[in-house]
Amino acid sequence: MPQFERKRICIAGAGAIGCTIAARMALTGHTVSVLARGATLGAIRRDGITLTDHEGTHQVAVHASEHAEFGVQDIVFVCAKAQDLAGILPRLQPLIDEHTIVVPTVNGVPWWYFYGEGGRFADQTVHAVDPDRQISALLPLRHIIGSVVFIAAEVEQPGHVVARTPHLIMFGEPANGLSPRLLELCAAVEAGGIEARPLERIRDKLWTKIIANISTNPLSVITGATLEELYTRPELKETVVAIMREVLLVAASYGARVEIDPLSFIELGAAMGPVRTSMLQDHDKGRPLELAAIGDAVLELAARFDIPMPVTRKVIDLTRFRGKQDATRHA
């Protein structure tokens, strides 16, 4: 892996994942800027970012603004929800030149899934996440390095994040292979105390995260359960495993090599403890749910191979009903 060099890094989105990455990168000595808004922007400007993780509590000062006024960046982490990408990407254009790497950290199926992979659906659109190709037009594929984020973090208050489990991000080129820029990115992130693994085939690990997300996030909204409860309580675990089995068939249909089985998923998930999923956190705060990327996109990919997904579809439908019901109640 190349020698670590300090980079100009912008974190677009100051939620749990964005603040965790920003804090770790700033601790390393990278020049870190954060695109934020509202109470979070005010808190970061006043107090910086406070991260409590497995190494202790860290407080770092970063340049924060509501506008992309930081100049051209070496790396831009887009830490926004999938449904917010079309709104945030136009604001990022001043940060990007021909050499900028853009790393979306979104959950679920990425809009670029079929770009560069050369399969039977090469260069087609995942309509659930990019129905009019607006995202693809705003961010050309040449800038993108994909990511699979395994960071369990939660915002305690604006600018204050707790992420007590070890941090891991896997990175990969959409067109596969280990490029020099991929290895350079991993070196920069690894230096910040985040384990960074370069992948030759990023879609394999994408499916691992997709399976984890779709089998727990929607169900957590319906039940209010933590990951520990979802993976250990028999009445919940049965549904989690049923969804995993359905999605594993979809992953296999797309040639993914998923190296972990449902029982291992259960063991690893239960060990994470009383962690609330990101979708449950959003639900509790009255925010829109990431159902398009985490749920609808998987159903769309399944439909291309006529794969029935009765349990997955039912849970997603119930989650959407719950979200609409709560939105009406709070209106």
Which tokens go with 142? Answer: 């040449």
Cβ atoms of 248 and 211 within 8 Å: the answer is: yes
φ and ψ at 49, to 5 degrees?
A: -105, 135
Helix (H) or strand (E) holding 12: strand 8-12
- Coil vs helix vs strand at 289: coil
Does residue 209 carry a catalytic annotation? yes
φ and ψ at 314, to 5 degrees?
A: -65, -45
**114/76 Cα distance (integer angstroms):** 22
Non-local (6+) Cβ contacts of 254 within 8 A are: 119, 203, 207, 301
- Coil vs helix vs strand at 158: coil
**50/59 Cα distance (integer angstroms):** 4
Which tokens go with 319? Answer: 């989650």
Q: Which residues of 189-213 are buried (b: 16+ CB within 10 A; e: fewer)?
A: bbbbbbebebbeebbbbbbbbbbbb
Select which of 81, 209, 237, 314 is catalytic: 209
Q: Which long-range contacts (CB under 8 A, 24 or more apart) does 263-271 make?
A: 265/211, 265/212, 265/215, 265/231, 266/231, 266/237, 266/240, 266/241, 269/212, 269/216, 269/227, 269/228, 269/230, 269/231, 270/227, 270/228, 270/231, 270/232
Q: State the distance between the two ends of the chain, measured CA to CA, in whole angstroms.
A: 52
Cβ atoms of 139 and 223 within 8 Å: the answer is: no
Active site residues per annotation: 209
